[in-house]
Amino acid sequence: MAVLTLALPAGLICAESKTLYLRLAELHPSDHPTSKGDREFARQVAELSKGRIQVEVYDNGVLGDELSVMEQLRFGAIDLARVSIASVQPFVPQLAALFLPYLYRDDDHLWKVLSGPVGQQLLADLKAGGQIGIGWFEAGARSFYTARTKLQRASDLVGLRIRVQESPPMVRLVETLGAKALPLPFPNVYSGLRTGALDGAENNLVTYYASSHYQVAPFFTLDEHARLPELLIGSPLAFSQISQADQALLLQAAAAAAVTQRAAFQSYEAEIRDKLVTAGVTFFEPVDLASWQARARRIWSEQTPQVRELLERIRNTQ
């Protein structure tokens, strides 16, 4: 994948038109529903600001993998990014609450949490970790998929080399299930699965399809162990040059874009099931889901008091 790094000052303002240009980094290809969400965010920003603020979406990972994007945000070479919470949690430890396995009743429960007081508080908490939280996006449920092994029982995972995000809570989750967790940047996963360096990986169905991982790992187990939402975040440097009113405008645009992104994500997810079967993917329902849940939930008791408090608030969200 070509990596283009822009060493330009943050939040470029065109002197003549006074237009503020903001660059947004996205890992996924243009046809991924999350990239569509980014473009909807850009459209909303342009509309709300009457063209005064222009968000330029750089998708397909051209600005680098997520950890490199986090770094570029820090020194202001990129203004905005859509990333997984996995990339942000190292700066905001309490985000670990959102990684807890088998936490939500369903996707609506997750969104009640994100759009309610817990979600608002976590967005505000990002500031203390030196991050600017703008809004949440949908990322479905993550499940395991494998290249050669048919995975149905939780015990089938024991000893498998599974790629995880470069994220301590994800390493811990996969280890708790008995697998060997290998943290790797996302762009390296396809070749790891193809060469046999990895036995499997885990992700949501949409990303499994969009990244073509199904070509090299055609067994997908619908265990849905975690729902990690995505974040739209901003560079603190860029934001220090944006007025409070315009910051509020960006948050408003993100909330509106999230509605479109979530709907696009869900309809795409429903569409690709058949395409994946036609492409030769075998889906497995987990056998004895209760034992998957019991094993994975052992992590719940390992959390800090702060995360356990969030866990209780999340469970009590109706």
| Cβ–Cβ under 8 Å, residues 201 and 145 | yes
Spatial distance between the Cα atoms of 273 and 2, rounded to a whole number of angstroms: 30
Tell me the closest approach of the beta carbon of residue 45 to ligand BDP, in angstroms. 21
* Positions 75 through 104 that interact with ligand BDP (CB under 6 A): 83-84
Record the tokens describing residue 191, joined without a space: 């070749």
Q: Which stretch binds ligand BDP (CB under 6 A): 15-23, 114-122, 203-211, 253-261?
A: 203-211
Q: Which residue has the tokens 């994946």?
A: 276
Selected from 230, 256, 268, 299, the binder of ligand BDP by CB under 6 A is 230
- Asked if residue 167 binds ligand BDP (CB under 6 A), the reply is no
Q: Which stretch binds ligand BDP (CB under 6 A): 2-10, 102-110, 121-129, 199-207?
A: 199-207
* Positions 27 through 66 that interact with ligand BDP (CB under 6 A): 27, 66
Return the bridge partners of 25, or none: 58, 81
* Positions 244 through 303 that interact with ligand BDP (CB under 6 A): none
| Cβ–Cβ under 8 Å, residues 19 and 32 | no
According to DSSP, the β-strands at 53-58 and 20-25 are parallel
Spatial distance between the Cα atoms of 37 and 24, rounded to a whole number of angstroms: 12
Tell me the closest approach of the beta carbon of residue 158 to ligand BDP, in angstroms. 22
- Asked if residue 186 binds ligand BDP (CB under 6 A), the reply is yes
Spatial distance between the Cα atoms of 190 and 42, rounded to a whole number of angstroms: 30
Element spanning 113, H or E: helix 107-115
- Asked if residue 204 binds ligand BDP (CB under 6 A), the reply is yes
Element spanning 157, H or E: none
Tell me the closest approach of the beta carbon of residue 87 to ligand BDP, in angstroms. 7
Selected from 73, 92, 122, 139, the binder of ligand BDP by CB under 6 A is 139
Q: Is the Cβ of residue 203 or residue 303 nearer to ligand BDP in the bound state?
A: 203
Q: Which stretch binds ligand BDP (CB under 6 A): 201-209, 212-220, 231-239, 249-257?
A: 201-209
Q: Is the Cβ of residue 20 or residue 81 nearer to ligand BDP in the bound state?
A: 81
CB-based burial, 88-119: b 16+ in 10 Å, e otherwise:
bbebbebbbbbbbbbbbeeeebbbbbbeeebb
Given the rule CB under 6 A, which residues bind ligand BDP?
Answer: 27, 66, 83-84, 139, 165, 186, 203-204, 207, 230
